[in-house]
Structure 1
């Protein structure tokens, strides 16, 4: 009996069974992809020879606390972006809303954001910041391994208002107006506007050009900019070349010059950085201090949804006419 008690006391010191402690979560890889609103950017730190758009870091390289802001800063360093780069972070390709900079992320253990190549973290950077990026990678394909992801595409036909036109991504010699883009080339969040921007980028068309996107060639269903597109499902618009969607460009017009607009003479100065135009082409994307010209007439216009906001019609230095929020601007 005494030996039994002695044996029990060795287990937990009080005659009971000592509970088994859970192993601590250790460091792991965090996979990521980088985009602008116009599509995917190659990584400066590629890991696969046949997909230079995906990369990874080790979680222990991210400075504590493990917030979204800390993760972005470390990836900026690896990818040669300036630390001041404007960027939104999504914890998954499927996310429709970005992660707040202050949000804590589970970057250790066997689960969490960026846990695999199939479900990476996504960073969407401003186009102007992408142009300032230093590209120094010298990694050659022979130094990298291949991987075999399932290639998925969005198929589409290209038109202007006068009829079909040739696509720059045509892959069928017998059908030059049929193009396609890889689903992984499209920037989250997966909306009709993101899809439209990616196609326009692939076709070499300015994102400011007016166009409409339809779910099919018949044009029965117009896709609104804010519509969610289920690109991770098995059934989305343009899923096959037999059922392509259609993009129709407005005929080109001469750019509007503010100095030639007798009514748009009032100077309007933007007070904050805003990405409204990234999600609704009828609105401007703006930078603090940027100068526009307006007629000064206060309007109410919808943004993405049916909600209406007080705004001004204004023209930027490139001649684009779109809306600017009243509360984020002031007259100069």
Structure 2
């Protein structure tokens, strides 16, 4: 969408949610002047990854929501925007949160900074480039959960392709290659990948490390990221990684970064299971009666909406001890028979447990 001098038109996208942070509707296509109020799109995170909004507008990306600029108290500063978003999301302590004007920002905006929240451009003017609010983990855990109104409305596919890419990495422990929880190739189990959108800003080596530690569930020491498989260049925590570009380390499957850790003699190699933020949803396109073959799996019916944290993993499904199919990750946000099982662990259905509502 244009963000310069050209006129911006709101799009009344088919399937877009009618409810948002204001309980209102997206305005019909129109050109707006520089003095008129507009929607401000935002995405929620904690340092560990995306956080589901209490007011999601898309069923396949529940961390995105929107408000009207008129709801933000003048003078419209970073502080006043943070305070209002925290208010409607039920998050205490807005002073502990950090506001980034886009996903690619290297540092949060100063609290006293005046924000251009009117007109056809500016921070959060598009769902493709929302402002980002990273809230305190403790405050996020304490917030009350509101009823969701997103329904089955989905962020359109072409916008998904602009929002999300993948970062590939190879996983090692002390003894050599280890099986990655996000493996997608049965013949190469140490190669994993994550959606870039699950990594909160600032996109530094430190934030990427924290994300991968959470994804792989490792408890260890001497955790390092290496630029490539040659292992000659160690990425320092303060280094900025341009994750939204095509030439950042790990942007290509054949050129992954390396994630290493040391167990330091401990037999315990994984962190205790924690419930992730289910910020993405997938819609089943077919019925699948997996539970009739194996009680550890969850049967689905066409149209059922499944929630996931966006981290793909590899999981075999067996009937009578025979491998039925290889599981693959899909970025189409649709589930076919070959994909249903892919997200079972991520939505905590491997034990038949439904996600929290």
The answer to whether the superposition gives a TM-score over 0.5 is yes
The equivalences for 1:92-171 within 5 A come to 92-139=102-149, 141-142=151-152, 144-148=153-157, 149-150=160-161, 151-171=164-184
SS of 1:223's equivalent in the other structure is: coil
User: Where does residue 19 of structure 1 map in the other structure?
Assistant: none
The equivalences for 1:20-99 within 5 A come to 23-84=33-94, 86-99=96-109
Give the Cα separation in 2 of the matches to 1:140 and 1:46.
5
Cα separation, partners in 2 of 1:85 and 1:24, compared to 1, 3 Å: closer
User: Where does residue 203 of structure 2 map in the other structure?
Assistant: 190
| 1:139 Cα offset (Å) | 3.0
User: Where does residue 235 of structure 2 map in the other structure?
Assistant: 223
Cα separation, partners in 2 of 1:96 and 1:24, compared to 1, 3 Å: closer
Task: Note if contact 1:48-1:147 (Cα within 8 Å) is conserved in structure 2.
Answer: no
Q: 2:261 aligns with which of 208, 228, 249?
A: 249
| 1:205 Cα offset (Å) | 2.9
User: Of the two, which has the highest radius of gyration?
Assistant: 1
| 1:27 Cα offset (Å) | 0.7
Which blocks of at least 5 consecutive residues in structure 1 are unaligned? 1-21, 255-332
SS of 2:148's equivalent in the other structure is: coil
**Per chain length, whose mean CA-contact separation is higher, i.e. which structure has more relative contact order (CA < 8 Å, sep 6+)?**
2
Task: Note if contact 2:34-2:120 (Cα within 8 Å) is conserved in structure 1.
Answer: no
SS of 1:222's equivalent in the other structure is: coil
Instruction: Calculate the TM-score normalised by the size of structure 2.
Output: 0.61
SS of 2:242's equivalent in the other structure is: coil
Instruction: Calculate the TM-score normalised by the size of structure 1.
Output: 0.65
User: Where does residue 6 of structure 1 map in the other structure?
Assistant: none
User: Where does residue 176 of structure 1 map in the other structure?
Assistant: 189
Give the Cα separation in 2 of the matches to 1:253 and 1:88.
38
Task: Note if contact 2:41-2:127 (Cα within 8 Å) is conserved in structure 1.
Answer: yes
Moved over 3 A (4+): none
Give the Cα separation in 1 of the matches to 2:54 and 2:68.
16
Q: Which has the higher strand share?
A: 1
Give the Cα separation in 2 of the matches to 1:251 and 1:108.
52
Aligned residues: 231
Aligned CA-pair RMSD: 2.0
